[in-house]
């Protein structure tokens, strides 16, 4: 008996598809975080950092360039994927307060709601 499509090819295809899906879900999580972020000066929205393997604790209170999403997606595409730990973080001194409802624009936080939204989408 011969295989039309050898099992190893199917395994490689499944791994590739799982890697692509993992990057897509991670990107959706980042998009949710950015979109749900309250905006005053724009610094909080711009200081979401995406890193692979360890948390990026850097921040810049003057960063209001509106490119956090595109930077993060590039990091996810180049280093994220199946089996990789990707961190989405914000180390501004007031970021934790915002997550705990300090802003009227995001009274239920940002990260937790983004996580729940993405998890519910892929259930």
pLDDT computed for residue 9 by the predictor: 82
Q: Where do the domains of the chain lie?
A: 7-121
Main-chain dihedrals φ then ψ at residue 51, nearest 5 degrees: -145, 155
pLDDT computed for residue 73 by the predictor: 98
pLDDT computed for residue 65 by the predictor: 87
Sign of CA dihedral 50, 51, 56, 60: negative
Q: Is 109 helix (H, G, I), strand (E, B) or coil?
A: coil
- Answer whether 40's CB lies under 8 Å from 92's CB: no
Residues of the chain with pLDDT under 50: none
């Amino acid at each position: 008996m011969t295989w039309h499509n050898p099992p190893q090819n199917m395994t490689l295809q499944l791994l590739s598809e799982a890697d692509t899906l993992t990057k897509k879900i991670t990107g959706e999580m980042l998009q949710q975080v950015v979109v749900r972020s309250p905006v005053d000066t724009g610094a909080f929205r711009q200081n979401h950092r995406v890193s692979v393997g360890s948390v990026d604790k850097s921040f810049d209170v003057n960063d209001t360039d509106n490119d956090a999403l595109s930077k993060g997606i590039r990091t996810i595409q180049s280093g994220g994927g199946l089996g990789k730990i990707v961190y989405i973080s914000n180390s501004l001194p007031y970021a934790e307060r915002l997550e705990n409802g300090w802003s009227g624009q995001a009274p239920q936080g940002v990260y937790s709601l983004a996580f729940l939204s993405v998890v519910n989408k892929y259930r």
